[in-house]
Structure 1
Amino acid sequence: MKKLRTLSLLLFTLLFILSLTGCGTGSSKKVKDTSADTPKTDGTVRTEPDTAGGNILNVHFDVEIASMDPQIATDGTSFETIAAITEGLYSIDASGSPILAMAESVDKSKDGLTYTFTLRDAKWSDGTPVTSHDFVFAWRRLVDPVVASEYSFIMGIAGVTNAAAIISGEKTTEELGVSAPNDKTLVVTLEVPVPFFESLLAFPSFLPVNEAFFKAAGDSFGTSPSTILSNGPFIITSYEPAATTITLTKNPAYWDVQNVALDGIRYQVIKDSQQAMLSYQNGDLDVATLSGEQVEQFAADPEFHNIMAGYLWYISPNQTIKGLENVNLRKALALAYDKGAIVNNILKDGSIVADFAVPTLLATGPDGKDFRETASTYLAADKATALSYWETAKAELNVSQLKYTMLVEDTESTMNVAQFIQSEIQTTLPGLTIELQTMPKKNRVERMQQGDFELGLTRWGPDYADPMTYLDMWTTKSPNNYGFWSNKEYDSIIESAKKGALALDTTARWAALKDAERLVMEDAVILPVYQKGDAVMIKNGIEGIEFHSVGINRIYKNAKK
């Protein structure tokens, strides 16, 4: 595993490179004038981008968009696209700090429990004004048990009054701590002060939705350009579920359109990394992600960039499946594969070994140190110990052999990692067979959400800069607790850290979160594999793409070509 100092230096170097790029001389080509574009009768502003090149940024995705509904989406690809066309009360600047967006100003009470936002004059892409009622509607929808959003929990993380009680069905959505006294004023009340509250409001789950437009679209909302409304820098002009090409065009109705240099963005879904690199070399892509041998091949290229991301990849064992409820079996699995070989020989993209549940470079504590600097590590690869756990598990379960199927999404790098893990487990633990079942990411996520799996190779990206963005997942009632683990002590720690005594004592809270991680790891609730690094090719002349390890991974508002 690379030392933290090396990672910090890597991150600093990348930020320095990007800052130099941002100060470079841009193209002399004039930005296309879209001021004459007008909303179409179906409610969506549409312009035809210059797909031959020009000021269109061509970006590589390795998985499809799963949802364009802000309150339903759960994955980074969807979040990135949604954030390009929709703007919330806050956005995030290049350094990762929250900045006012749809909110023109905010007044905070001295006790940190009431936020009063005044909205700026802004319009949706159909010409209707963005109002405080759009936020009330969207936030109530997020916590509505009928909607059953997988991200409803984040409203409770934000501390918004009555969020948890509404999600559990104890209170109505009208009792959520958000109100609109008038079209331009939004009042939010919290149950406890939340230090990262403003950063959270830039996250896609908190983005506004126009109620009239939503109801008119019905079940088709978010599935096509005519059923997607924008108030952000771009609008969607070409999209359908599972599309391999998604086209965005600059939004002439955007309040800050004069500071958007790109005419549009064209996303291309290419799962094969070799094909993606060919497209990049042919000039069809401006931004492409590398994997495996490609990283070594292009590492010296001046267009190559290595970025440490926040994503944690891990195996989730479903504890409702016979055998996987046994902690010794789960530990045997967790220790049986060589993580160093995965990051150094397979991925080669700057990813690091994960012997933890909370990634490095995520959050700084009251001591001024990164969480990982003062927390322990767990479940490091150890094949001899793994075999010992396996022998114990066989005796406890009264079996001599077991077979499990692991769900894997169908991207090249993920399949390569899964095949290696499969081989390692079957070699290290004789009598244990792992079968792989590959499928698109959306299907893999749906299967795991429904509990229809045995093992799943999955990932989680941080939504905000606090360990809770990971640790809240493994509480008993969390929709992201795919393995159905339950521990009363753990639940108590997390509840207190969110809105109990620990929430009011930052030092005690930080220590308690380390205890919570220990409980998850010692019980092998998840089997960590690696923390993702991204090897990215970016064409010379591309400036201002903002990369973030927390929340929205890439922001293009200030990008130039």
Structure 2
Amino acid sequence: NDALWANGDPVTAHDIVYAWRRAVDPNTASPYSWYISLATVKNADDIIAGNKPLEDLGVTAVDDFTLEVQLDQSLPYFPEMTTYATLFPVHQATIEKHGIKWTRPENIVSNGAYVLTEHVPNEYHMRKRSTMYWNDEATVIETVIGRVINDENQALTRYFAGEVDHTGIPAGQYPNLVKKYPDEATSVPILCTYYYAFNHTESANPGLHDVRVRKALSYAIDRKLLVNQVLKGGQYPAYNFVHRATAGFEMPVIDYSSIPQNQLDAKAEDLMTEAGYGPGNPLTLKLIYNTSESHKQIATVISQLWKQKLAVQTELVNYEWKTYLQIRQTQAFDLARAAWCGDYNEASTFLDLMTTASTSNAGRFSNPEVDRLMAESKTLEDPQDNYTAVELILADEMALIPIYHYTSVFMLNSQIKGWPYDNVQKNWYSKDLYRIKN
């Protein structure tokens, strides 16, 4: 009851009610409205569809400091889901006054340890310590600047020039850097899976509608080559979708994961031949990815493997992030580089993505049994059997191509302390960090 917004207003349960209703409001058209539905908040689906009023959403402010939430069904990991930004409170008066400009530095009213003071899109943002934060006395760092540096190698150069304290490590450079800077170079698991999404709609190359083709493309990818010779950052070869470090998740046994690569290559060639493709009738594909040197490296290696082993001709096309998302959402591709990072630490954050209703299901994969198993899992005390069944269906249909399970590979100035290395969700907060003198 001592939490305040940056302008001094108290943070109340009413702010959360407003935020959740705004997230499901069809007029807001939030790309993450489905998250409220995923959390099984009562009536969320009907409100998103425009069939019920906002007031029917299952969230109520009993008083200023008591929030009551009604769910459509039991969801054991619901509390974990509330750590995601979609369920954060927002300052109603600010949004009503400024509309879509409410997040600009001169307008925004937030309730965290810092306030946004400057923001130049695609360049940088600056945050300064908020004296209104409820635990401000524990905050040490006064100002935080986040810089947008699209070139990973340039970012690393600026790190060594002392211009930044934290940056990612480009693919392939971790082994040398950790030897030279053991107190600064780090690789730790993070709940993200790197994969290629197949376009399952009519706009894709018809060949991709044949599961034999999809399996052949997946089998021909030498994942161990990618993680050991290209990425070199401790990543794990992936044959299933859910990241191996996900809490309480038992990794499924995927049949092709234990087959030697040379045998997989032979199986892939046989499958392509059965499907009618080969040197005399090559499959042609368009693979899109968002601009990044590491994405380019991976796409180049994979396209070469496909060409050498399966005679597949692959057009590689990169786009800046915003354009890439638009093209991916309209299915103007055959395959798309993608990644999913868990919104919370439970397997459903990955597997729900592959349900028919998920707006983040970029390839529009649809399987009634996957939908049924995931819906049923919400009410089970132990949903592991359902999760395993879903993973096996995804592998059997090769709904997507899992490539690797992420690690967070980065450089951190040895003067910076308080970093949560064991947080697999990569939830780190500037308020918890501090700098020591050399």
Query: What's the TM-score, normalizing by structure 1?
Result: 0.72
Question: How far does residue 550 in structure 1 lie from its aligned partner after superposition?
Answer: 4.8
**Aligned AA (2:334):** E
Contact 1:318 / 1:453 at 8 angstroms: preserved in 2?
A: yes
Deviations 1:413-457 (A, max 9, x none): 111111111111122111x21111112233322322233332110
Give identity over the alignment, percent: 29
Secondary structure at the aligned position of 2:270 is classed as helix
What corresponds to 1:433 in structure 2? 313
Deviations 1:7-54 (A, max 9, x none): xxxxxxxxxxxxxxxxxxxxxxxxxxxxxxxxxxxxxxxxxxxxxxxx
CA distance in 1, matches of 2:250, 2:229: 28
Contact 1:547 / 1:555 at 8 angstroms: preserved in 2?
A: no
What corresponds to 1:47 in structure 2? none
Runs of 4+ in structure 1 off by over 6 angstroms are none
**Aligned AA (1:451):** Q
Contact 2:190 / 2:425 at 8 angstroms: preserved in 1?
A: no
Q: Residue 253 of structure 2: which of 376, 383, 399 is its match? A: 376
Secondary structure at the aligned position of 1:546 is classed as coil
Q: Residue 277 of structure 1: which of 156, 172, 175 is its match? A: 156
CA distance in 2, matches of 1:144, 1:393: 46
Contact 1:233 / 1:251 at 8 angstroms: preserved in 2?
A: yes
**Aligned AA (1:292):** A
What corresponds to 1:387 in structure 2? 269
**Aligned AA (2:269):** L
Q: Residues 497 and 274 from structure 1, CA distance in 2 versus in 1: closer, same or farther, beyond 3 angstroms?
A: same
Question: How far does residue 318 in structure 1 lie from its aligned partner after superposition?
Answer: 0.7
What is the root-mean-square deviation in Å for CA atoms of aligned residues? 2.0
Question: How far does residue 322 in structure 1 lie from its aligned partner after superposition?
Answer: 3.3
Secondary structure at the aligned position of 1:239 is classed as strand
CA distance in 1, matches of 2:287, 2:38: 31
**Aligned AA (2:402):** P
Deviations 1:535-558 (A, max 9, x none): 222112211122465545432221
Question: How far does residue 560 in structure 1 lie from its aligned partner after superposition?
Answer: 0.3
What corresponds to 1:313 in structure 2? 194
Q: Residue 215 of structure 1: which of 82, 96, 114 is its match? A: 96
CA distance in 2, matches of 1:551, 1:490: 25
Contact 2:245 / 2:424 at 8 angstroms: preserved in 1?
A: no
What corresponds to 2:52 in structure 1? 171
Secondary structure at the aligned position of 2:275 is classed as helix
CA distance in 2, matches of 1:280, 1:330: 41
What corresponds to 2:108 in structure 1? 228
Secondary structure at the aligned position of 1:265 is classed as strand
CA distance in 2, matches of 1:436, 1:531: 23
Question: How far does residue 527 in structure 1 lie from its aligned partner after superposition?
Answer: 0.5
**Aligned AA (2:41):** V
CA distance in 2, matches of 1:407, 1:463: 24
**Aligned AA (1:426):** K
**Aligned AA (1:264):** T
**Aligned AA (2:337):** L
Number of aligned residue pairs: give it: 424
User: After superposition, where does 1:3-22 map in structure 2 within 5 Å?
Assistant: none
What corresponds to 2:296 in structure 1? 415
CA distance in 1, matches of 2:214, 2:237: 18
CA distance in 1, matches of 2:371, 2:233: 36
Any gaps of 5 or more consecutive residues in structure 1?
A: 1-119, 365-369
Q: Residues 265 and 137 from structure 1, CA distance in 2 versus in 1: closer, same or farther, beyond 3 angstroms?
A: same
Contact 1:160 / 1:189 at 8 angstroms: preserved in 2?
A: yes
User: After superposition, where does 1:29-48 map in structure 2 within 5 Å?
Assistant: none
CA distance in 2, matches of 1:453, 1:240: 32
Question: How far does residue 218 in structure 1 lie from its aligned partner after superposition?
Answer: 1.4
Deviations 1:91-116 (A, max 9, x none): xxxxxxxxxxxxxxxxxxxxxxxxxx
Work out whether 1:471 is the aligned partner of 2:348: no
Question: How far does residue 522 in structure 1 lie from its aligned partner after superposition?
Answer: 1.0
What corresponds to 1:445 in structure 2? 325
User: After superposition, where does 1:262-411 map in structure 2 within 5 Å?
Assistant: 262-300=141-179, 301=181, 302-320=183-201, 321-323=204-206, 324-364=208-248, 370-372=249-251, 375-377=252-254, 379-380=256-257, 382-394=264-276, 400-411=281-292
CA distance in 1, matches of 2:50, 2:381: 30
**Aligned AA (1:538):** L
**Aligned AA (2:173):** Q
**Aligned AA (1:237):** T
What corresponds to 1:545 in structure 2? 419
Contact 2:3 / 2:10 at 8 angstroms: preserved in 1?
A: yes
**Aligned AA (1:523):** E
Secondary structure at the aligned position of 1:557 is classed as helix
What corresponds to 1:494 in structure 2? 374
What corresponds to 2:407 in structure 1? 533
CA distance in 2, matches of 1:214, 1:552: 29
**Aligned AA (1:143):** V
User: After superposition, where does 1:74-223 map in structure 2 within 5 Å?
Assistant: 120-222=1-103
What corresponds to 1:510 in structure 2? 384
CA distance in 2, matches of 1:179, 1:358: 34
Question: How far does residue 226 in structure 1 lie from its aligned partner after superposition?
Answer: 2.0
Any gaps of 5 or more consecutive residues in structure 2?
A: none
Deviations 1:283-318 (A, max 9, x none): 111112112342122112222222111110000011
**Aligned AA (1:559):** L
Contact 1:309 / 1:548 at 8 angstroms: preserved in 2?
A: no
CA distance in 2, matches of 1:234, 1:522: 48
CA distance in 2, matches of 1:545, 1:377: 35
Query: Which deviates more from structure 2 when the two are superposed, residues 250-259 or residues 144-153?
Result: 144-153
